[in-house]
């Protein structure tokens, strides 16, 4: 099975340059701003999916999206907005992430 290289360093640099804080990265997910939004690496290394927390106000999400996508493009990254997500706590300090399509 071929593993795709993911440009995590480039993504972290992009987010920091835009004033966002990377709060957690795990496998194919990068959480920012204490889970206001997350980026999910797609099948190709430079493509990412953008999901906003269901609790993030739409106006704030729109501003983030309008700044993030063009800035990512300039760094050779392609970001596609896919929808929203919800996080819920599960037993034993586990979290469940539920993705909600647009």
Read off the pLDDT of residues 60-85 as tens digits, 9 standing for 90 and up: 999 999 999 999 999 999 999 999 99
> What domains, with CATH codes, occur in the chain?
8-85 (3.30.70)
Q: What residues have CB less than 8 Å from 72, skipping those under 6 apart?
A: 14, 48, 78, 79
Burial of 27 (0-12, 13-18, 19+ CB in 10 A): exposed
* pLDDT (tens digit per residue) in 7-57: 999 999 999 999 999 999 988 999 998 889 999 999 887 999 999 999 999
Q: What is the pTM of this model?
A: 0.90
């Amino acid at each position: 099975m071929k593993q795709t290289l993911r440009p995590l360093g480039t993504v972290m640099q992009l987010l920091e340059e835009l004033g966002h804080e990377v709060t957690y990265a795990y496998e194919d997910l990068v959480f920012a701003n204490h889970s206001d939004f997350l980026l999910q690496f797609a099948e190709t290394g430079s493509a990412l999916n953008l999901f906003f927390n269901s609790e993030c106000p739409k106006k704030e999400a729109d501003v983030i999206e309008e700044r993030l996508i063009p800035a990512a493009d300039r760094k050779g990254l392609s970001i596609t907005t896919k929808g929203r997500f919800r996080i819920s706590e599960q037993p034993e300090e586990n979290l469940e992430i539920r993705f909600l399509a647009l």
